[in-house]
């Protein structure tokens, strides 16, 4: 979710769901230790619970980054062993690390020794043409044995390390949910979460018959309103469902603060484009918020007025 689940999107998502666990975009250890640290570690307290997702393969560097996360107040540190990007592979981390379970175990153990936060790992079911379930089982078993990590988030597709783009890697390798279900049966003591191609509540609830949790990625970004029912369905919180217009209203003070700090409005409104996904007015909403002319004055009232107009047109059509 590079460039997607930044702090602006996460603040927006938290207004829709109060309890869903949020995760940052992947941050490399090099970027965090030697780059703009504030950019990657900044978050609003309302975003909690929040996991910092790290990319790296040096145990010492990962431990240092985990300590930074704990000092900043993150709820969890996650190691990404699932990203198939060739750019990531050139740094010897991401999905290519699935070929090195010993190193992954060492990385996670170093992170666990450095902090009291939960340390988790996200990975694929295999790499390249390795298709058999035994590879996944042995990877998880070895990583758990060497690190005592107990939470595994599994994207139920192989990662093709050469020849496919990251987008194609999310679409072309077939989903194999039964592999993840079997993993939970083989490791009942571990917390196994599933990821990949899950786009609606019947699918989410069906998966929860087999695993401990579900991670939603692109769907939660492209159709963020899928999060609206999470508090009631998963967390037993019966508070009234929010309305889209109320979420935009609640965003206004945040948008104004960020604009005062020099953040262009368009950098934030791009994360709101999916709010009316699949509903009347969705095209107008996306077109207006993507229009540089409409965004050039950095007036967040534009977003609120547009929401009012769309809601009014929906009422008249009902």
Whether residue 105 contacts residue 141, with contact meaning beta carbons closer than 8 Å, is answered with no
Which residue of the set 83, 96, 107, 149 is catalytic?
A: 83
- Residue 138 in tokens: 């042995």
107 annotated active-site:
no
In angstroms, rounded to a whole number, what is the distance separating the alpha carbons of residues 305 and 311?
Answer: 10
Residue 132: Cβ-neighbour burial (10 angstroms; 0-12, 13-18, 19+): exposed
| φ and ψ at residue 138, rounded to 5 degrees | -70, -35
- Any idea what the Cα angle at residue 110 is, between residues 45 and 77, rounded to 5°? 20
- Name residue 54's beta-bridge partners: 27, 79
Report yes or no: 255 and 300 within 8 Å, Cβ to Cβ.
yes
Q: Please report which residue ranges of 101-155 form alpha helices under DSSP H.
A: 101-114, 133-147
CB 58 within 8 A of CB 39: no
> Residue 246 corresponds to which tokens in the numbers above?
């109320």
CA pair distance 318, 271, nearest whole angstrom: 28
Strand, helix or coil for residue 191:
strand
Q: How many residues does the chain have?
A: 318
Active site (catalytic) residues: 83
């Amino acid at each position: 979710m590079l460039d997607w689940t930044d702090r602006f999107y996460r603040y927006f998502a938290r207004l829709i769901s109060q309890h869903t666990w949020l995760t940052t975009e992947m941050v490399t250890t090099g970027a965090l230790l030697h780059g703009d640290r504030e950019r990657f570690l900044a978050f609003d307290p309302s975003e909690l619970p929040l996991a910092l997702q790290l990319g790296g393969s040096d145990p010492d560097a990962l431990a240092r980054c985990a300590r930074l996360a704990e000092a900043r107040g993150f709820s969890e540190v996650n190691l990404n062993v699932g990203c198939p990007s060739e750019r990531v592979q050139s740094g010897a981390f991401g999905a290519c690390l699935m070929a090195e379970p010993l190193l992954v175990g060492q990385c996670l153990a170093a992170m666990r020794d450095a902090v009291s936060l939960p340390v988790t790992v996200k990975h694929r079911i295999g790499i390249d043409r390795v298709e058999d379930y035994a590879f996944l089982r042995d990877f998880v078993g070895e990583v758990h044995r060497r690190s005592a990590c107990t939470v595994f988030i599994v994207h139920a597709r192989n990662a093709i390390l050469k020849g496919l783009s990251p987008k194609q890697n999310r679409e072309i390798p077939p989903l194999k949910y039964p592999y993840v279900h079997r993993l939970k049966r083989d490791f009942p003591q571990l917390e196994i979460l599933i990821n990949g191609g899950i786009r609606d509540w019947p699918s989410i609830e069906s998966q929860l018959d087999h695993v401990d949790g579900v991670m939603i990625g692109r769907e939660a970004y492209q159709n963020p309103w899928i999060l609206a029912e999470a508090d009631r369905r998963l967390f037993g919180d019966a508070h009234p469902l929010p309305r889209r217009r109320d979420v935009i209203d609640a965003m206004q003070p945040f948008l104004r603060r960020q604009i005062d700090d020099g953040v262009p409005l368009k950098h934030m409104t791009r994360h709101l484009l999916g709010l009316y996904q699949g509903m009347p007015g969705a095209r107008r909403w996306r077109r207006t918020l993507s229009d540089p002319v409409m965004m050039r004055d950095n007036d967040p009232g534009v977003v609120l007025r547009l929401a009012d107009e769309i809601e009014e047109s929906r009422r008249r059509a009902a």
